[in-house]
Amino acid sequence: MFLSGASTLSMRDPADHVRRYTRQSEFEFVGWTLESLSIKLGQFSLGVTEYLTEEERVALVLDYFVMLNQFQQVERELENVLSDPANTDPSSEASSLREQTLELRSELDRIQPLVETILQEQVAVVLSDFGLGIGGKIIPSVAFKFSQLPVTLIVSPREVIRMDANIPLVTNLTIDQKIMLEDQVAQDLDVSSLIVNIGGIGLYPTMVLESSSLRWIVETIVHEWVHNYLTLRPLGLSYEKNAELRTMNETVASLLGEEFGYFVLERYYPEFAPDREITPPTTTAPSADPPKFDFRAEMHETRIKADQLLAQGLIEEAEAYMEERRQFIWENGYRIRKLNQAYFAFHGAYADAPQGAAGEDPVGKAVREYWAQLDSPVDFLIHMSWMDQFSDLERALEELNPTP
């Protein structure tokens, strides 16, 4: 109902102007959700993982990620063989690599449902241990599916960084098709546009991109479950209301994804859990080597300057500056295809760490401050979930830090 409720065209919504260009390429969520729900119901009813010991479950998950890493390596080798201009007859080597990819993909597909079920159960156990369950049951249940994710078209006005449209598109767009669509929307509507990749979507079951990083996968499963949890409460229901609430939602999900994800890894896969020990300050003399490139700090600086130029009405100057910075960042190893208002409108909503693409936006900073002052991640989640405007968060911080 949520997905199909806005099917009529209303030109009062900026996104509807953009959909004149994207309707033939938009991702079809209803079919994906129905198919995935059917698969998940089958997994729940069979209960195959109940016959595995905890050690066997952990071993199966680890084997899956080792195999996935092998599959991705072979895929890269195949791409290199077919792309190498010096290779005049790649057919023999390519044939062998294709056979390996087919064998590995077949085995991955065979055990993938089991791995999904095991990870779901492990995340649910940790969440329940924190008291988020009702009678031992997590509501909503933890359910995700590895999937090819849609890319999404982000549109911002040129004169200010603000997300006016976020439209998921089919997964198989080529880079040329992406650039053509971006340029057409930008030129015809006089906006900033960018098609970005995403790592997960909080449908039910949630969509999670297949990755060989176990840590990233676990944190993303939790991140998207938090979105499901919030959707049943005011903060999630208000996600599309304004940029402030979108940032609050994404920052809460990112903070808790990392927090609960750590405890899942610590319990089941301790060798993959990040080191949380605080390193004591060094007493040695500072190094004479030049400082390493700090991507987040550079993006923070870029966002602040771009905001300042736009606030002065210097749109073309701001866009020229962002392109200049993109080239500088590219030269330092970060391959950003476009750096524009739409880029910051999307990435600026994820403000779980200081600096970065959010710039001087006070919303992410306020969420982090509230997070730091509460003793329990569960208290943080519950309190944040009942907020439906930024002023609620400001008021909560004032209550924690009353003015003398």
- Kindly state the greatest CA–CA separation across the chain: 78
> Is the pLDDT assigned to residue 348 strictly greater than 90?
yes
Q: Is residue 112 part of a domain?
A: yes
Cβ within 8 Å of residue 69, ≥6 positions away: 212
pLDDT at 46: 58
Asked whether the beta carbons of 175 and 192 are under 8 A apart, the reply is no
Residues, the chain: 404
Please check whether residue 121 lies inside any domain of the structure.
yes
Element (H, E) at 206: strand 206-208
Q: Are 369 and 397 in contact (CB under 8 A)?
A: yes
Q: Does 174 fall in a domain? A: no
The answer to whether position 65 is within a domain reads yes
Domain span including residue 113: 49-129
Containing 165, the helix (H) or strand (E) segment is strand 165-169
pTM across the whole model: 0.86
- 164 contact partners, CB below 8 Å, separation of at least 6: 14, 15, 18, 155, 156, 157, 191
Q: Is 374 within 8 Å of 401 (Cβ atoms)?
A: no
Predicted local confidence at residue 7, as pLDDT: 33
Residue 313 carries which side chain, given as an amino acid letter? G
In the chain, the number of structural domains is 1
Give 77-117 pLDDT, tens digit per residue.
Answer: 888 877 777 777 777 778 888 999 999 999 999 999 999 99
The alpha-helical segments, DSSP class H, found in 197-291 are 214-231, 234-237, 243-268
Question: Quick check: is 107 in a domain?
Answer: yes
| Within a domain: 362 | no
What per-residue confidence (pLDDT) applies to 39? 78
| Residue 363 within a domain | no
Average pLDDT (276-305) is 75
Task: Name the CA radius of gyration of the chain, rounded.
Answer: 23
What's the rounded Cα separation, in Å, for the pair 119 and 344? 33
> What is the Cβ-side half-sphere exposure of residue 344, based on CA atoms within 13 angstroms?
34
Encode pLDDT of 132-155 as tens digits.
Answer: 988 878 999 999 999 989 999 999
DSSP state of 228: H
Q: Which residues contact 238 (CB under 8 A, 6 or more apart)?
A: 245, 388, 389
Whether 110 maps to a domain, the answer reads yes
> Alpha-carbon distance 185 to 193, whole Å?
7
What is the model's pLDDT at position 8?
33
CB-CB contact of 222 with 261 (8 Å): yes
Distance CA(360)–CA(1), nearest Å, equals 37
- How does pLDDT run across 232-273, given as a tens digit for each residue? 999 999 999 999 999 999 999 999 999 999 999 999 999 999
In this predicted structure, the answer to whether residue 66 has a pLDDT above a threshold of 70 is: yes
Beta bridge partners of 192: 156
